[in-house]
Amino acid sequence: MCPSAADNLELRYVVQQIRLESMNRYYLPLPKLNHSQLRFLKENLEGRGFTCRAEGHFLRASDGPATLTIDSAGLASSAGELLDALAPTIPPLLSFPKEASGGPSTPPYFIVKRVKADLHEIQVFPRMEGLRTWSELRRMGLCGLTPDEKAVVSSLLSDTRGTIECVTDYVSESSSPMMLGKRQFYRSEIPIREFVSNLGTMDRPHSRRCYLPRKSVIRVNATRDLDARSALAGLGEWCFLNLDPKTSNSGD
């Protein structure tokens, strides 16, 4: 069986800022934040001279010409450097208790749909590993998948079998090449166990990396429903929401 999120009961949050040069943006993956944490960030930044406004599950803070956006789904971004503004807030943020979900308007991690019989489609909602930022991360040789996102995907795949279509930075038997910038990647179909083992994260570089597809949709075979409850366990300091599996797993 593949490793599950339950094997990572105390995932520790890691501060790691990522700059995507061609987009002229800085990104800082954050824990998935609850309402109390978002309110704390607003009050803290305002107390340090920022002008803030809350817009649903977004917080926008300006300090002169620089504006930063914080999404409670777990990502801060700005055209300017983020660490000076946000690094001092991290220790108190990590001391908050978990609260009921209610921040992000979409499910926090994934939706699973049964396509037919034993075929399931998983739509993952990663902080950075999707669409335009996915392409820029590949061009720069970076990975933006967070440890909790890998734990969730690994757990969902623990009762699946067969192969999975993904992108790799190494050749497999079924690979077809693709170029992103000056870097060589491959559309590959590999065993699920290999995918989970080599799935890269922002804090753990691998010599051989797998990545979610650009649209963050994966299809797998399973004889029973995927275990959403186990997938949402053990997310540690990366998630401050008490998640009901029904809010992250829907659709037959």
Structural domains of the chain, ranges and CATH numbers in brackets: 10-97 (3.30.310.10), 110-248 (no CATH)
pLDDT of residue 246: 59
**DSSP structural state of residue 126:** -
**pTM of the complete model:** 0.91
> N- to C-terminal Cα distance for the chain?
24
Residue 205 CA to residue 174 CA, distance in Å, equals 24
User: DSSP letter at 21?
Assistant: G
The DSSP secondary-structure symbol of 161 reads: B
One digit per residue, the tens of pLDDT, for the chain of length 252 reads 444 444 455 799 999 999 999 999 999 999 999 999 999 999 999 999 999 999 989 999 999 887 999 999 999 999 999 999 999 999 999 999 999 865 445 678 999 998 888 899 999 999 999 999 999 999 999 999 999 999 999 999 998 989 999 999 999 988 999 999 899 999 999 999 999 999 999 987 667 899 999 999 999 998 888 888 888 888 999 999 988 665 455 554
* Residue closest to 28 by CA, chosen among 78, 93, 65: 78
Taking Cα atoms as reference points, which of 224, 171, 178, 227 lies closest to residue 194? 171
Tokens 């010599």 — which residue? 207
DSSP 86-117: HGGGHHHHTTSPPEES-S-SS-SSEEEEEEET
Contact 108, 242 (CB under 8 A): no
Burial class (CB in 10 A: 0-12, 13-18, 19+), 154: buried
Other beta carbons within 10 angstroms of residue 118's beta carbon come to 14
pLDDT value at position 103?
Answer: 46
**What integer pLDDT is reported at residue 102 of this predicted model?**
53
Asked if residues 199 and 150 have their Cβ atoms less than 8 Å apart, the reply is yes
Q: For 62-98, how does the pLDDT look when each residue is reduced to its tens digit (9 = 90+)?
A: 998 879 999 999 999 999 999 999 999 999 999 999 9
